[in-house]
Structure 1
């Protein structure tokens, strides 16, 4: 098993059910899922979950990460603090495809209280089937990376 095949999933308490649905969905498509929880509904802190998933992507252990919280915004902000992470919160398929094609995003964030299950699965599929286009977009991704210091 290589990082190329692996996707880390994490969420806070607000998105456990949707995260587990997404995990089954992408496993059925041949990906290896590294689900780092949580598994119980007690209140948790989304920054910890965003950071943990982002570190697995940044280390190269996982190719992509999919993270969820109520809105998808807070957990995304936490993940983006980790060097090498480019995560976007998406509530539509067009944005999910574009963050891969134009921004070479390596993580996707979804708001479990924002999108329903069917749309969430479509967003995941759009993200995972899109490829980075490179070219002029590579220059911009390099500029983003340079901001990390």
Structure 2
């Protein structure tokens, strides 16, 4: 009887963790975030789907996969289109894409998404208004 109760307890514990993770993921999906350091000339965005992320990095579109565990996030398999653009925009884009590999934590506060890298650098995004990405 003790083994059955212990087994049921473990199952419920794992189900609870899995639900917590899906609620967190749901809070990111279906929204577009704009990097707060973006300018009119270099607008950087990020969007989330169930297991994928994608966005615009100033010149190119980019994409990849992500996993979440608690407040940890891992962005991986980052790829992008290969268009060329103004030097300043290309430099900003390269810096941004390179930083994504170093992101290890995230937090969402109201309409703000904050990524923190392994070196403590922060990327701060604001949720875009719905009309901003309807074209």
Give the TM-score of the pair, scaled to structure 2: 0.31
Asked which structure has the greater CA Rg, the reply is 2
Greater percentage in strand: 2
Give the TM-score of the pair, scaled to structure 1: 0.29
Greater percentage in helix: 1
